[in-house]
């Protein structure tokens, strides 16, 4: 495939000259006479190199350069300048322009600069194509098309930041909305895709163990440190490290993480050697980090260092148009896994699935469909199938029934106390277990139980242990 060179210059003669010259050299060329039209095209496609005039009719070349670099930080931009614009050309170089050529254009120098720029970014367009929205939906595991405008905007942002591979990203949203899937998507559509994607839940480990897991430790650093251990920062070198539940990280560990983000260096626990890494940090939280900053529970400097790009993933209840497509997607996946034939949802089941507010979000929906497909027979997913599960899906009227039992006189025939209490307990255990992503220790802490009591209830309510 021919490399694509983009020419942005308001002089028609220059555009025609460059187009003919570059096409003779075997390049494909697209030309624009102003900044606005070129940026509009760049929002939908990406060239392999840009030739950009400093003087445009609607905005300066510097402004276009800044916008372009925000979209595709890896893209080489060669500035076209007049001899009187040397100072501005120097400014452009400081903004990460690849090089500049002066008017009148010396053809041999132009071709050398273009060839050199293309050598360094030979895969720029291929990376873009891999990260195009259609690829995001169909080429990445665990992704399905969304009809939500909020999700479309998130995917568009992911596409834009996939061009750069160093930008720190903060993903916010309730538990179960798929923050880990978005983080994985950012990694897969970036130039780091062939390198490790490692993740850790900061809420699942005590402070000392989290520090050791992140930074590693030297032999003898503490009682159980019998050997040197590399941490996740070293193991994810050249790749991506995903820090889930970053709001639970202790302040002492936050200080060390801030240093990594600023200098990309750290020391293992008990070590003296400075270790340098090249890793992209993506963090996620279901907490209000800004409020934690105000409360002194989270460092303000770390908050803003993490929030270079901020993605707010909406809860499932705010995008009900996505519920049935997600159900169909998971139903198809688990039908294949369990050798079942579910391929349809009854109208009554559709109504219930859409009306329920899914407090556990996509994770709760996914677990519900997995259990249903595993335990029931198709081909139609019915309301009765779902009711037989007695999961949190059917507790949407539970608060009202409890309130009615407490306010109104008890009926002569009595109430099913054990059933009502059991339903409430089952709902809370499911909610905690889903929120903890199957981590029993964390789920037990959320419920104020010890692990043995939690395991008893997991078995009692048929919740799959992990």
CATH code, 172:
3.40.50.300
Which range of 140-144, 156-160, 456-460 scores highest in mean pLDDT? It is: 156-160
**For residue 466, is it within any domain?**
no
pLDDT in tens, 36-72: 888 888 766 678 889 999 888 888 888 888 888 877 7
Please tell me whether residues 164 and 47 are part of one structural domain. Answer: no
What pLDDT was estimated at residue 8?
94
Asked if the structure places residue 183 within a domain, the reply is: yes
- Answer positive or negative: Cα dihedral of 66, 68, 73, 76: negative
Residues 158 and 290 in one domain: yes
Q: Is the pLDDT of residue 132 over 60?
A: no
Q: How far is CA 376 from CA 370, 379, 434, in A?
A: 10, 10, 21
Enumerate residues 6+ apart whose C-beta is below 8 A from 352: 383, 386, 393
Domain span at residue 68? Answer: 4-122
Report the number of distinct structural domains present in the chain.
3
Question: DSSP alpha helices (H): ranges in 121-206?
Answer: 124-131, 133-138, 149-161, 179-188
- Where a domain ends, among 95, 122, 149? 122
Q: What is the pLDDT of residues 434-447, one digit of tens each?
A: 778 778 888 888 88
Tens-place pLDDT, residues 284-325: 998 889 999 999 999 999 999 999 999 999 998 888 888 888
| Range in 208-217, 381-390, 449-458 the model is least confident about | 381-390
Express each pLDDT in 72-130 by its tens digit: 777 889 988 876 566 666 777 777 788 888 888 888 999 999 998 888 765 554 454 44
Determine, yes or no, domain membership for 77. Answer: yes
**What's the mean pLDDT when you consider all of the chain?**
82
Per-residue pLDDT averaged across 19-44, rounded?
A: 87
The pLDDT confidence band at residue 133, using thresholds 50, 70 and 90, is very low
**Does 135 lie in the same domain as 114?**
no
Is 456 in the same domain as 409?
yes
Residues 70 and 202 in one domain: no
pLDDT in tens, 162-218: 777 788 999 999 888 889 989 988 898 888 888 899 999 998 888 888 888 899 878
pLDDT of residue 257: 93
76: domain CATH number is 3.40.50.2300
- 401 and 352 housed in the same domain: yes
Q: Residues 377, 330: one domain?
A: yes
Contact 93, 118 (CB under 8 A): no
Specify whether the CB–CB gap between 264 and 278 falls below 8 A.
yes
Per-residue confidence (pLDDT) for residue 414, from 0 to 100? 76
User: Is it the case that residue 151 has pLDDT exceeding 50?
Assistant: yes
Q: Which residues touch 120 (CB under 8 Å, ≥6 apart)?
A: 76, 98
Residues 339 and 440 in one domain: yes
- Read off the pLDDT of each residue in 375-390 and give the average, rounded to a whole number: 78
Is residue 358 one of the residues assigned to a domain? Answer: yes
Q: What is the C-alpha end-to-end distance of the chain, expressed in Å?
A: 48
**In a shared domain, residues 441 and 366:** yes
Of the three residues 286, 314, 342, the one that is the final residue of a domain is 314
Domain annotation covers residue 465:
no
Domain containing 330 — which CATH number? 1.10.8.60
pLDDT band for position 251 (cuts 50, 70, 90): very high
174 and 301, same domain (yes or no): yes
pLDDT, one tens digit per residue, over 339-377 is 998 988 888 888 888 878 787 888 888 888 998 898 888
CA distance 118 to 338: 49
Domain end position, chosen among 259, 289, 314: 314
Residues 268 and 357 reside in one and the same domain = no
Q: Based on the domain organization, do 198 and 304 belong to the same domain?
A: yes
Range scoring the smallest mean pLDDT among 12-16, 168-172, 222-226, 238-242:
222-226
How far apart, in whole angstroms, are the C-alpha atoms of residue 308 and residue 287? 18
DSSP 58-107: SSBHHHHHHHHHHH-TT--EEEEEEGGGHHHHHHHHHTT--EEEEESP-H
Length of the chain measured in residues: 466
């Amino acid at each position: 495939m021919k490399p694509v060179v983009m020419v942005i210059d308001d002089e028609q003669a220059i555009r025609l000259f460059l187009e003919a010259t570059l096409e003779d050299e075997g390049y494909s060329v697209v030309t624009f006479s102003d900044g606005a039209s070129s940026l509009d095209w760049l929002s939908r496609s990406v060239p392999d190199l840009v030739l950009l005039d400093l003087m445009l009719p609607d905005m300066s070349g510097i402004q276009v350069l800044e916008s372009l670099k925000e979209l595709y930080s890896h893209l080489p931009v060669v500035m076209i300048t007049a001899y009187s614009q040397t100072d501005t050309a120097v400014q452009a170089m400081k903004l990460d322009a690849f090089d500049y050529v002066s008017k009148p254009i010396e053809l041999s120098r132009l071709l050398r600069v273009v060839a050199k720029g293309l050598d360094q970014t030979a895969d720029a367009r291929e990376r873009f194509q891999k990260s195009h929205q259609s690829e995001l939906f169909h080429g990445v595991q665990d992704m399905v098309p969304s009809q939500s405008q909020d999700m479309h905007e998130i995917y568009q942002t992911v596409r834009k930041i996939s061009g750069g591979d160093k930008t720190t990203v903060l993903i916010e949203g309730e538990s179960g909305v798929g923050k880990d899937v978005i983080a994985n998507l950012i990694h897969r559509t970036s130039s780091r895709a062939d390198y490790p994607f490692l993740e850790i839940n900061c809420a699942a480990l005590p402070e000392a163990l989290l520090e050791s897991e992140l930074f590693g430790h030297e032999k003898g650093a503490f009682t159980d440190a019998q050997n040197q251990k590399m941490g996740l920062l070293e193991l994810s070198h050249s790749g991506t490290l995903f820090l889930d539940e970053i709001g639970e990280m202790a302040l002492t560990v936050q200080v060390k993480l801030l240093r990594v983000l600023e200098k990309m260096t750290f020391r293992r626990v008990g070590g003296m050697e400075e270790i340098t890494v090249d890793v992209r940090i993506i963090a996620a939280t279901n907490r209000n980090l800004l409020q934690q900053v105000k409360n002194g529970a989270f460092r303000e400097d770390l908050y803003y260092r993490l929030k270079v790009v901020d993605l707010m993933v909406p809860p499932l209840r705010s995008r009900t148009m996505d519920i049935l497509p997600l159900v169909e997607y998971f139903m198809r996946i688990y039908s294949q896994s369990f050798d079942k034939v579910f391929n349809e949802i009854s109208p009554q089941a559709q109504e219930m699935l859409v009306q329920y507010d899914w407090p556990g979000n996509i994770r709760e929906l996914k677990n519900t469909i997995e259990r249903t497909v595993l335990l029931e027979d198709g081909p139609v997913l019915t309301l009765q199938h779902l009711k037989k599960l007695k999961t949190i899906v059917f507790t949407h009227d539970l608060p009202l029934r409890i309130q009615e039992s407490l306010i109104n006189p008890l009926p002569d025939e009595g109430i099913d106390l054990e059933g009502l209490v059991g339903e409430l307990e089952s709902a809370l255990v499911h909610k905690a277990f889903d929120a903890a992503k199957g981590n029993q220790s964390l789920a037990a802490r959320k419920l104020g139980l010890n692990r043995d009591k939690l395991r008893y209830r997991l078995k009692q309510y048929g919740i799959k242990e992990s």
